[in-house]
Chains A and B, each alone.
Chain A
């Protein structure tokens, strides 16, 4: 998080207070630079954990925007605060006890039908996911499309914060991904075969042989096999 001395300074506002900081830093870098000892709001620092949701406005723009604080660069006149926690209600389900995933979607997430097409969730998503589309896919029963759209979801919950129909679009997409995997994308014959071969002890003789080798012998064995 080093800031160069020759970088120009810009003015930002953190929770209403102004600070002068070098340009080209991230939001979290700016928090540390200005002396904020934050713990909540910092996670992977790589843009995949969703810990650092940040709400901000840019100069002369009324629009309220949102991004990930570890990835987003600051700019002159920006005003921001971090929202490290957002309370989300979540139904409990055991994916292995589900019988009819497409019908049971409405048991766990009846509100999934209530989408009013406002598009607020898509606009707020820091990962640019078509999360509204993923919910609609799930409702239509196209779990594969929903799963595909939601691959990069970091579960930050910002879509939940903006949904006027009061649903948790990220949770619905996760349900679709998990059940798609368990119930529909089920081909893995080679994996099943490997498990059977291991259970049957197909390689036991070779393991016995390996277990009797000293370090030099093991080295020789491995090199011969590569």
Chain B
């Protein structure tokens, strides 16, 4: 057994029976507010500053995002390709995760010619990593209204009710669509869809494919896209700038080929941004559960066009990120393990929060324990608390952990940790961008021809998303944006390709007195150790 665990296993096992018998009350609203204000990273004043100019001028966001929004375009002069674009398609989709693939299939179904351009490979996304499940009201005691109520409550009543209504009402249709493509959701003993309970919800409403829900969804969506004629796929080619006509309508994009030093100009009648989240900015130095390409590209690209962002200052830190062993830092430990009954315990073997509180509350409680000296130190200078997974088998019988969480089992097994018998150390990890580009119910933005879907969009989840609502929103709004973009393509002609919007953007920048020191989007994080750095500082 690992020496760190050896030190604590005594107190963890000695307190287990007592903890099982203990009823952990849910917190009162006032106490929650107090906890969040004191310990949630979204409330850390020194991490924030006002945005200097543009549609969200004066609004607070984290330094890391503000720097990208206020950065210049990488295009100082118009590429020659603007006069003769390399490709012409009805609908250009930027991003190849769950939202992008869904949008592509829907747009194609309506007859549009479609291109998906994506930074890494089709399917490399946060979708593929989503473990817990997808929310849809299917139990007798549940309804779309109840789903709405829970999401509103979880989002601190900041959600756009119009978007949320659309999401919960489309939910069963979206799930039905996934089912019709061959996503294999878990079944009950009687063969019906199996429903689990997730954090922050008043009803059991989570469908899952064990703890590989996003993987199965993405695998099926990708296969369906590959099987569909009329969808061009451009991998390793992220967008670095959007293109507009003289009326400020979006008419295409410039892509950067990451394999060779080459830019690709695409003319399109509609553009859908489905570029995902922001975890790789490592906001406030948090580790992240996000994939390699999650650098929030939609935010600066759309902002430069004058699109407003909704809640640019709120992020979700998933309460249970692995922090030990060091190679696992940031990796998600699925929330299904908490909803399955695992205990969060501090160094003294005490539970300190009801594990089924909403994510932000659980996250703040863990940070509080560590800040107040009840955390556990790792040899690598990190702190965390224990997640007692073996308690699940203690309550439900041997073999339950192994059967329910094969993905988690394998991830830890690779590092010599046996989760059915050994607790693991966790700490919040940067997981999700609650806000994003403001959209309407069809994924449309304030800019004609520009649609946004998936994690890049904002407003649906208010300032805190509930588990299982992201795998849902990528399908619902991916589909809506795909259909709206295809519809627009039947109504407009191809437009001229200019960078006129950058003139306006640079004028605002100058007026605000901002000197551009970098360009955006960021595209990829840089983890490469440079030769001049000291050994060990990578």
Residues of A whose CB lies within 8 Å of any CB of B are 1-5, 7, 22, 24-26, 29, 32-37, 39-40, 42-49, 51, 71-73, 90, 92-96, 127-128, 147, 151-155, 174, 177-182, 185, 187-192, 194-195, 198, 203, 206-207, 210-211, 215, 218-219, 221-223, 225-226
* Complex Cα–Cα for A127 and B125 (A): 19
Q: Is the CB of A29 within 8 A of B145?
A: no
Contacts A46-B289, A49-B291, A190-B192 given; indicate if A128 touches B187 (C-beta within 8 A).
no
23 A-B pairs with C-beta separation under 8 A: A1-B527, A2-B326, A4-B379, A5-B536, A32-B528, A32-B538, A40-B259, A43-B120, A43-B121, A44-B291, A46-B331, A48-B407, A49-B291, A51-B121, A185-B191, A187-B187, A191-B138, A191-B179, A195-B172, A203-B144, A207-B165, A210-B165, A221-B149
Find residues 111-149 in chain B having any chain A CB closer than 8 Å to their own CB. Answer: 120-121, 123-125, 128-129, 136-140, 143-146, 148-149
What's the tally of chain B residues with a CB closer than 8 Å to chain A? Answer: 84
Q: Is the CB of A187 within 8 A of B145?
A: no
Q: Distance in Å from the Cβ of B461 to the closest Cβ of chain A?
A: 15
Which residues on B sit within 8 Å (CB–CB) of A198? 144, 169, 172-173
Q: Is the CB of A25 within 8 A of B327?
A: yes
Tell me whether chain A's interface is mostly helix, strand or loop, or mixed: loop
Q: Per a CB cutoff under 8 Å, which of B121, B173, B210, B414 touches A71?
A: B414
Find residues 186-242 in chain B having any chain A CB closer than 8 Å to their own CB. Answer: 187, 190-193, 202, 209-210, 212, 214-216, 219-220, 222-224, 226-227, 229, 236
Which residues on A sit within 8 Å (CB–CB) of B150? 226
* Complex Cα–Cα for A198 and B222 (A): 29
B286 at the A interface (CB under 8 A): no
Q: Per a CB cutoff under 8 Å, which of B123, B124, B190, B223 touches A187?
A: B190
| Interface hub of B120, B185, B220 (most chain A Cβ within 10 A) | B120
* Complex Cα–Cα for A34 and B528 (A): 8
Which residues on B sit within 8 Å (CB–CB) of A181? 179, 182-185
Q: Per a CB cutoff under 8 Å, which of B140, B157, B325 touches A190?
A: B140
Which residues on B sit within 8 Å (CB–CB) of A4? 326, 379-380, 536
Q: Distance in Å from the Cβ of A33 to the closest Cβ of chain B?
A: 5
Find residues 278-333 in chain B having any chain A CB closer than 8 Å to their own CB. Answer: 289, 291-292, 325-327, 331-332
Contacts A49-B124, A185-B187, A218-B152 given; indicate if A22 touches B327 (C-beta within 8 A).
no
Which residues on A sit within 8 Å (CB–CB) of B259? 40
Find residues 401-444 in chain B having any chain A CB closer than 8 Å to their own CB. Answer: 406-407, 410-411, 414-415
Which residues on A sit within 8 Å (CB–CB) of B121? 43, 49, 51
